[in-house]
Amino acid sequence: MSDHFYIQDDASNGPSPSGADNRRHVRFPVCLTVEYSQESPVEFKSFILNVSARGCYLQTEDPFSVGSDIIIRLSIPPQIKVLVTLTGKVAWVNKGEAPLPPGMGIKFDETNQNALRQLMAYLEGEAPLVDRKV
């Protein structure tokens, strides 16, 4: 069994009800603590349950509306060092119908390329996400 799965290029449709696997980007199952908001300062805390180079799934009981802008900050305790800050849009909302807990699918903006490369290299085991001197 694989330890990752793939995301459809068109994230706006949410998970495929047929279960068909026509995905092209590796999606890593994770449980990363994040802070997120529609604008700064950060207002909410939750978890990302999976992530790829194109987007992520953010668990929340109160998702933003489809099309809403979002800022996501991944950080590590106890020093709360921000690892990466990503921006995107809410592509789809799950209010509990999908096989995932309630939340929202996020499509990352194209402007996140450096942060996404750093995050993907970390998830693929190729590079540390945090400077070891910290």
Q: Tens-of-pLDDT digits for all 134 residues of the chain?
A: 334 333 333 444 455 443 444 456 678 888 888 999 998 776 899 999 999 889 999 999 999 999 999 999 887 665 667 778 899 999 999 998 868 899 999 999 988 888 888 888 877 876 665 554 43
The answer to the question of residue 114 being in a domain is yes
Six token digits for residue 109? 């903006």
The answer to the question of residue 130 being in a domain is no
The answer to the question of residue 129 being in a domain is no
User: What is the total count of domains within the chain?
Assistant: 1
Note down the domain range covering 45.
Answer: 5-123
The answer to the question of residue 133 being in a domain is no
Q: What is the CATH number of the domain that holds 76?
A: 2.40.10.220
Cα(98)–Cα(96) distance, integer angstroms: 6
Cα(82)–Cα(74) distance, integer angstroms: 6
Amino acid occupying residue 118: Q
pTM for this prediction: 0.74
Nearest to 82 by CA among 35, 49, 38: 35
